[in-house]
Amino acid sequence: MVSTTSQINKFIEFVAVLGDLVILNLVLFFLLFFWEEVFVSLPFSCRVSWMMTSLSLCYLACSSSRGKVWDSRGIRPDQLVLRVLKNIIAFSIFWACIMTFSGISIYSPLFFVAYFSFLFVILSIYRIIIRHFLIVYCAKGKHRRYAVFIGGGNNMQVLYEEMENSLASSLYEVVGYFDIKPNEAFSSQCSYLGNPDGFSDFMSAHLGIKHVFCSLSMEEGRYNFSIMNHCENHLLYFHGVPNVCKGFPRRIWHSMVGNMPILNLRYEPLGKMENRILKRIFDIVISGLFLVTIFPFVYLIVGSIIKLTSPGPVFFKQMRTGLNGVDFVCYKFRSMKVNNEADSKQATADDPRKTRFGNFLRRSNIDELPQFINVFKGDMSIVGPRPHMLAHTETYARLIDKYMVRHFIKPGVTGWAQTHGFRGETRELSQMEERVKADIWYMEHWTMLLDLYIIYKTVANVIVGEKNAY
C-alpha cells in the first residue's frame, strides 16, 4: 500500500502549486486590466495568453521549493513568507532574463515591480491560510485511524516518533504495542498491551482498530504468519515495518524483481532509462549548440590571450573520476602556469601558480567552458556533481562515508553543491562532507526542472559574483 502521508504531502504540494499558478495569472490579468497603457502597448508576440504561459513555466522552473507549505507542525508563518520571498526574487529575475533574451522590452518597469509586489503579498497570505487549515485539520483528527504496533524495537520507536511529530499524527493514533516484554526505552505515552499471543483477543474486543504495524525479530517471527492471517480474515490493514533503522538511511526505496520485493538504499530517478535519455538529449542539444555557435569565438579570444600571457597550451587536461568511478580526460582553459602539482594540490585564493588572466578566468568560470566538449562526448553532464582529481577521489573515499555514492551519476559542469556555496578550496574535511551530502541530495531528487533551476542559479551567481570562485 502506498504511503498515506506521502500521498497527502504530494496532494498538499499539488494544491499549493495549482493555487500559485492561478494567483500569479489572476494578479497579472487584474493589473493589465487597470494598467491600460501596458495592455495597449503589448505586441502580438506578448499578448496576455503568451505572458500567462511564460510566467507559469518560469515559475515552475525556478521555484525549487514550490508547494512546500508543510514540513512539520513546528513550521512558522515567517518561514513560509521567507520561502515565498526567495521564490519571487528568483522568479522575477528569471522571467526578466527570458523577456530580455526573447527580444521583448519591458514597457513599464513600474508595472512589473507592482506585479511582483502584489504577487508576494497574496502568495504569502495564501500559504499561511493553507498552513492554518492543516493545523486545524490535524487538531480535529476527524479521519484519524487507530493502530497497534507489534514489536517494540528501535525501528518501531522511530516510527512512533514520526507519527507523533509529523503530518502522520493527524492520520494515526497508536493505541499501544505488543512485544515479548515491555521496552523501557519506548515512549511512556505508548501503552504496553502484552505478549503477541494476546493480539487476536485484543483486536476482537477493539473493532475500531483497523491498522497493524508489525516488526518482530527473527526469533519472534513465529507470530508473523498468525498475525497476518488474522488481519486478512478480519478486514485489518497489515503493514510490515522493516528493521532497517540501524545502518540504513532513512530514504530507502523498494523495487520488485518478479514477485520478490527488494529494498534499495536510495531512490535514484536517473536509474530510470527514460530519465537518462531525457537528460542526455538535453546535454547533447545544449552542448552541441554552444560548441558550434559561441565556443569558437570564446576559444579564439581566450586562447589568444592565454598564449600571449603565459607559455604553454591553451587547454589544461587532467584525469578526473567520472560515472561509476571510470576515469576520463577533463578539459579546461589553462589558468595556471605549467607546474608539477596540478594533479595533487587544490587551487587557493592567493595561489602563486595562477596567471593574472587565469585569475579572471576562474572568477568568471570561463575556464570551465571547454567542459562542454566533455558533455558532448558523454563523459559529463551539464548538471551533476563536480568531478574531482584522482588523488582527491582516492583520499576522500577513505575519509568520508558514502563519498563514492556521488559517482553513480555523471559529473557536471555545474551542480547543486556549487550553487549553494560548496566550491573552491576545502580546508576542512567537513566542507567536503557537506559538498558530498549536497551531491547525494541532488542524485536522489533529480528532475529536469531541478536541472533548469541549477543552470539559472549558476548564471545568476556568475553575474553577481562568488567569493569562493578562485
- Please list the pLDDT of the chain residue by residue as tens digits (470 residues): 444 555 666 677 777 788 888 888 888 888 877 765 555 555 544 556 777 777 888 887 765 544 454 444 456 677 778 878 878 887 888 777 777 766 655 556 777 788 888 988 998 898 888 877 777 766 665 667 889 999 888 888 888 887 776 655 557 888 999 988 888 888 888 889 988 889 999 998 988 898 999 987 656 667 778 888 888 888 888 888 877 655 555 567 777 776 777 777 778 889 888 899 999 999 999 999 999 999 999 999 999 999 898 888 999 999 999 999 999 999 999 988 877 766 666 666 666 787 888 888 888 889 999 999 999 999 999 999 999 999 899 999 999 988 999 999 999 999 999 888 887 667 788 889 999 999 999 999 898 888 988 998 888 888 876 665 54
Q: What is the model's pTM? A: 0.62
CA 194 to chain centre: 43
Cell numbers at 118, concatenated: 502584489
Report the alpha-carbon distance of residue 173 to residue 147 in Å, rounded.
6
Residues with Cβ within 8 Å of 124's Cβ and at least 6 positions away in sequence, in order, are: 80, 81, 84, 85
Q: Report the half-sphere exposure of 359 (CA within 13 A, side-chain side).
A: 10
Report the alpha-carbon distance of residue 224 to residue 51 in Å, rounded.
59
With contact defined as beta carbons under 8 Å apart, do 309 and 356 qualify?
Answer: yes
Phi, psi of 94 (to 5 degrees): -60, -45
Coil, strand, or helix at residue 357?
helix
CA distances 202 to 181, 184, 220, 222, Å, are 17, 22, 19, 18
DSSP state of 196: G
CATH number of 145-248: 3.20.20.70, 3.30.70.1230, 3.40.190.10, 3.40.50.20? Answer: 3.40.50.20
CA distances 94 to 2, 235, 417, Å, are 36, 53, 20
What is the location of CATH 3.40.50.20 in the chain? 145-248
Cα angle: 430, vertex 333, 363; to 5 degrees: 50
Ramachandran assignment for 375, one of left (phi > 0), alpha (psi -120 to 50 degrees), beta (any other): alpha
E-strand ranges in 90-208 read 145-150, 172-178, 191-194
Nearest to 121 by CA among 21, 23, 12, 35: 23
